[in-house]
Amino acid sequence: MSTGLAPELDAFYQVLQRRRDVRGEFTGEPVPDDVLDRVLGAAHSAPSVGLSQPWDFVLVRSEQTRETFREHVRSERDVFADSLTGERSQTFAKIKVEGVLESSLGVVVTYDPSRGSPAVLGRHAIADAGLYSVCLAIQNLWLAATAEGLGVGWVSFYREEFLASLVGLPDGVRPVAWLCLGPVSELADTPDLERHGWRRRRPLSEAVHHERYDG
Amino acid sequence: MSTGLAPELDAFYQVLQRRRDVRGEFTGEPVPDDVLDRVLGAAHSAPSVGLSQPWDFVLVRSEQTRETFREHVRSERDVFADSLTGERSQTFAKIKVEGVLESSLGVVVTYDPSRGSPAVLGRHAIADAGLYSVCLAIQNLWLAATAEGLGVGWVSFYREEFLASLVGLPDGVRPVAWLCLGPVSELADTPDLERHGWRRRRPLSEAVHHERYDG
């Protein structure tokens, strides 16, 4: 279907539309080094408050580390499941929340608030601005992986202190994400959570306001 | 210079490399409606924890609102400037931190923690996960704007309560960013902060670790 856009612009938007949060489709095949370098380079080219680049990427391939993390994620999944009742409980039971072992590697993305301190330009009024920068890097990574034909799954069923200890983060450095990364059999057309009836996406028009929040 | 990559992949990475945090290059020309729709649609297609899509976008064109915000930003700029001494102070004095009036419009991006609650899938262990989702939407917006030839500047010299009041955010809804958006005369090759000697980018190799943070 033609969008009427220039081919390069069209291809760019297609990457954004193809991107999915992958849990079940990882093949486990290795990621070539040059591809991984480009994907991490994309993350590293993200904007950051005061050019602080407060992110780091810990690449986890060790089976033992991944099995330990997966066990922890399973127990946190149970914590969440126990908070649900009725239809929510049944719907959640069908949903896979991680591909820690099936993916090719884990990328633990961290935030170091001391980077560029004490005077981080643009962070004096908003303490979380450094954390925001790390998320921008994550989205760059996610999109670049998608453009390369890889899948990414953000695992968030964990306690920060557990993951910090698992990969040896120094005091003050905070884990922001465990990203499962690797080749996939396919990228689904519809988000898993929508496909399984957990939640539907809202229309853009509901999210856009004019001049004021009630406008 | 040839990268050896397929043209569409090469074009994708070029968008990431061209993206800048714009302060001084806005022309103030209007953004066509169809372009703005695509850019906001890109933001809205970002991943979100539990498919909660906790973001909203308040488009601010009002001169009066923008002038009020700009005055506030100036006073917060002064707060930061007063914290600096010596070379830092002199370097900062040269740096423009906002294009609130010169850009075509402001996009206030907000976070509503109540969206999808009480049981947001994937947020029980990490309270900030919803905030992370909003940042992923911001990066999608930023890259789409870049692909469309527009510039974006993230203003972070403000107090959240001031901006929340200015655009009428309900209790509990948090402003995450004021993004200046619009056509630009050019996108600089080098980030402003690096060009003015505030800070240099670190090499990717320093940010990548293996198995553990000290690896």
Sorted by where each begins, the domain ranges of chain B are: 21-187
In chain A the first and final C-alpha atoms are separated, in Å, by: 34
| pLDDT at residue A2, rounded to an integer | 67
| pLDDT at residue A1, rounded to an integer | 57
The tokens of B81 are what? 């400037």
Indicate if the alpha-carbon torsion angle A2, A209, B143, A187 is positive or negative.
negative
| pLDDT at residue B3, rounded to an integer | 79
B154 to chain A: which residues are within 8 Å by CB? 47
CATH number for the domain whose boundaries are B21-187: 3.40.109.10
**Is the distance from CB of A182 to CB of A104 less than 8 angstroms?**
yes
B171 to chain A: which residues are within 8 Å by CB? none
A184, amino acid identity: V
Residue among B134, B110, B119 nearest B53 (CA)? B134
**Is the distance from CB of B151 to CB of B184 less than 8 angstroms?**
yes
- The whole-number mean pLDDT for each consecutive block of 10 residues of chain A, a chain of 215 residues, reads 86 97 97 98 97 97 98 96 95 95 98 91 92 98 98 97 98 98 97 94 97 96
| pLDDT at residue B1, rounded to an integer | 57
- Residue-wise burial string across B60-77, b where 16 or more C-beta atoms lie within 10 A, e elsewhere: bebeebbeebbebbeebb
Rounded Cα distance, B195 and B200, in Å: 9
Rounded Cα distance, B93 and B138, in Å: 28
Contact A76 B124 (CB under 8 A): yes
**Is the distance from CB of A142 to CB of A152 less than 8 angstroms?**
yes
For residue B134, with 0-12 CB atoms within 10 Å meaning exposed, 13-18 middle and 19 or more buried, which class applies?
buried
For residue B3, with 0-12 CB atoms within 10 Å meaning exposed, 13-18 middle and 19 or more buried, which class applies?
exposed
- Angle at the Cα of B123 from the Cα atoms of B114 and A141, rounded to 5 degrees: 110
3-state secondary structure chain A: CCCCCCHHHHHHHHHHHHCCECCCCECCCCCCHHHHHHHHHHHHCCCCHHHCCCEEEEEECCHHHHHHHHHHHHHHHHHHHHCCCHHHHHHHHCCCCCCCCCCCEEEEEEECCCCCCCCCCCCCCCCCHHHHHHHHHHHHHHHHHHHCCEEEEEECCCCHHHHHHHCCCCCCCEEEEEEEEEEECCCCCCCHHHHCCCCCCCCHHHHEEECCCCC
Nearest to B53 among A46, A125, A202 (CB): A202
- Angle at the Cα of A33 from the Cα atoms of A29 and A34, rounded to 5 degrees: 120
A45 to chain B: which residues are within 8 Å by CB? 16-17, 19
Contact A121 B198 (CB under 8 A): yes
Could you give the strand order of the β-sheet that contains B105-111, starting from the edge strand earlier in sequence?
Answer: A208-210, B55-60, B105-111, B174-183, B150-155
Please state the ipTM of this predicted complex. 0.97
B12 to chain A: which residues are within 8 Å by CB? 11-12, 15, 143-144, 147
H or E segment at B191? none
**Is the distance from CB of B211 to CB of A106 less than 8 angstroms?**
no
- Angle at the Cα of B47 from the Cα atoms of A60 and A110, rounded to 5 degrees: 35
Q: Cis bond leading into B118, ω under 30°?
A: yes
H or E segment at B105? strand B105-111
- For every one of its 215 residues, what pLDDT tens digit does chain B have, with 9 covering 90 and above? 567 999 999 999 999 999 999 999 999 999 999 999 999 999 999 999 999 999 999 999 999 999 999 999 999 999 999 999 999 999 999 999 999 999 999 999 999 999 988 889 999 999 999 999 999 999 999 999 999 999 999 999 999 999 999 999 999 999 999 999 999 999 999 999 999 999 999 999 999 999 999 99
Instruction: Provide the 8-state DSSP code for B173.
Output: -
- Pick among A52, A138, A143 to test the B interface (most B CBs inside 10 A): A143
In the block, residue with structure tokens 């391939």: A61
Between A and B, how many residue pairs show a Cβ–Cβ distance under 8 A? 266
Q: Where are the alpha helices (DSSP H) in B50-159?
A: 63-82, 86-93, 129-147
CA distance A177 to chain B (A): 9
In the block, residue with structure tokens 């001031």: B162
- Spatial neighbors of B52 by CB under 8 A, at least 6 apart, are A199, B115, B116, B117, B120, B123, B130, B133
